[in-house]
Amino acid sequence: MSVEVSGVKELERQLVSLFGRENLPQLVDPALIAGATLVAKTLKSEFVQFKDTGASIDEINIEKPVYDKGVRSIKIDWKGPKDRYKIIHLNEYGYTRNGKKITPAGTGSVARSLRISERAYRAIVQKKIGDKL
């Protein structure tokens, strides 16, 4: 699941022309980390509503920013000793058991978190990049 922000390629082209490709990570990475931290915080607050052991909350992890298909991006995933990444998709979309559709309490929580934090994410990224300009 990802968030698509329109105008990113044009913005990146302009930033590359101003600062150069090699200087871009120092400008963009702090903004991406701040935005991802906000999204992770929103995810945690959504997951609290249906927590059992809290392992899914504890294993939310923010990766380091990397280039993905030529675009600087950051990834939020689940890593930890209880391997919650294996069941997050089941919780998000539900599943079928013996022909019966099972809808867990946390169904749609990741999508809801992304929708809730989308505007604030954009504002944080814009502010962080704007502060460096």
Tell me: the pLDDT tens digits for 47-78? Answer: 998 888 889 999 999 999 998 888 889 999 99
In the 8-state DSSP scheme, what is residue 54? S
Go through 1-22 and write b for each residue having 16 or more CB atoms within 10 A of its CB, e for each that does not: eeeeeeeeeeebeebeeebeee
How many separate domains does the chain show?
1
What's the domain range around 122?
Answer: 15-132
Query: Residue range 82-109: average pLDDT?
Result: 92
Question: Which residues fall within 8 angstroms of residue 50, CB to CB, at 6 or more apart?
Answer: 104, 105, 106, 109
63 belongs to a structural domain: yes
Does residue 2 fall inside a structural domain? no
Residue 106 lies inside a defined structural domain of this protein: yes
Residue 55 lies in a domain: yes
Residue % of the chain over a pLDDT of 70: 94
- Asked if residue 91 is part of any domain, the answer here is yes
Q: Give yes or no for residue 17 having a pLDDT over 60.
A: yes
Are the beta carbons of 85 and 101 closer than 8 angstroms?
no
The angle formed by the CA atoms of residues 48, 117 and 122, to the nearest 5 degrees, is 155
Structural domain contains residue 121: yes
Judged against a pLDDT cut of 90, whether residue 44 lies above it is answered with yes
C-beta atoms surrounding 125 within 10 Å: 20
Is 1 within a domain?
A: no
pLDDT exceeds cutoff 80 at 15: no
Residue 93 maps to a domain = yes
The pTM of the full predicted model, rounded to 2 decimals, is 0.83
Q: Would you state the pLDDT for residue 14?
A: 78
For 121, the token pair is: 């994410």
Q: Which residue has the higher pLDDT, 30 or 3?
A: 30
